[in-house]
Amino acid sequence: MWLLRRKGPSGFSSSSTAEEVTDGIDGTGLTAIVTGASSGIGSETARVLALRGVHVVMGVRNLEAGRNVKETIVNENPSAKIDTMELDLSSMASVRKFASDYQSSGFPLNILINNAGIMATPFGLSKDNIEQQFATNHVGHFLLTDLLLENMKKTAVESEKEGRIVNVSSEAHRYTYPEGIQFDGINDESRYNKMQAYGQSKLSNILHANELTRHFKEEGVNITANSLHPGIITTNLFRHFNYGNGLANTVGKLIFKNVQQGAATTCYVALHPQVKGVSGEYFMNSNLHKPTQHGQDVDLAKKLWDFTTNLIK
- Flag whether pLDDT at 1 surpasses 80: no
Please give the angle made by the CA atoms of 303, 309 and 313, to the nearest 5 degrees.
Answer: 150
Reported confidence tier of residue 51, pLDDT bands at 50, 70, 90: very high
Paired residues of 224 in beta bridges? 164
The SS3 of residue 283 is strand
The SS3 of residue 226 is strand
What's the farthest any 2 CA atoms get from each other in the chain?
52
Per DSSP, 303 falls in state H
Query: Quick one: average pLDDT of 71-76?
Result: 98
What's the pLDDT at 238?
47
- Flag whether pLDDT at 248 surpasses 50: no
Query: Quick one: average pLDDT of 235-250?
Result: 46
Query: Quick one: average pLDDT of 125-150?
Result: 98
- Flag whether pLDDT at 244 surpasses 50: no
Reported confidence tier of residue 111, pLDDT bands at 50, 70, 90: very high
- Flag whether pLDDT at 235 surpasses 60: no
CB contact at 8 A, 104 and 96: no
Read off the amino acid at residue 292: T
Query: Is residue 177 flagged as an active site residue?
Result: no
Average pLDDT over all residues of the chain: 94
112 vs 24: CA distance, rounded Å: 21
Read off the amino acid at residue 313: K
Q: Choose the catalytic residue: 102, 175, 177, 192.
A: 192
With CA atoms as reference, report the closest residue to 300 among 160, 179, 163: 179
139 vs 147: CA distance, rounded Å: 12
User: Which has more pLDDT, 5 or 252?
Assistant: 5
As a whole-number percent, the residues of the chain with pLDDT over 70 amount to 91
Per DSSP, 122 falls in state P
What's the pLDDT at 102?
98
What's the pLDDT at 234?
67
Question: Please, what sign has the CA dihedral across residues 257, 58, 171, 48?
Answer: negative
What's the pLDDT at 34?
99
Domain ranges of the chain: 20-312
Please give the angle made by the CA atoms of 33, 282 and 258, to the nearest 5 degrees.
Answer: 65
Please identify, in words, the CATH class of the domain defined by 20-312: alpha beta
CB contact at 8 A, 208 and 141: yes
223 vs 202: CA distance, rounded Å: 22
* Least confident interval from 22-36, 40-54, 251-265, 297-311: 251-265
What's the whole-model pTM score?
A: 0.94
What's the pLDDT at 245?
47
pLDDT in tens, 4-42: 568 999 999 999 999 999 999 999 999 999 999 999 999
Question: Which residues have a Cβ under 8 Å from the Cβ of 214 and sit 6 or more positions away?
Answer: 280, 298, 301
What's the pLDDT at 255?
67
pLDDT in tens, 138-196: 999 999 999 999 999 999 999 999 999 999 999 999 999 999 999 999 999 999 999 99
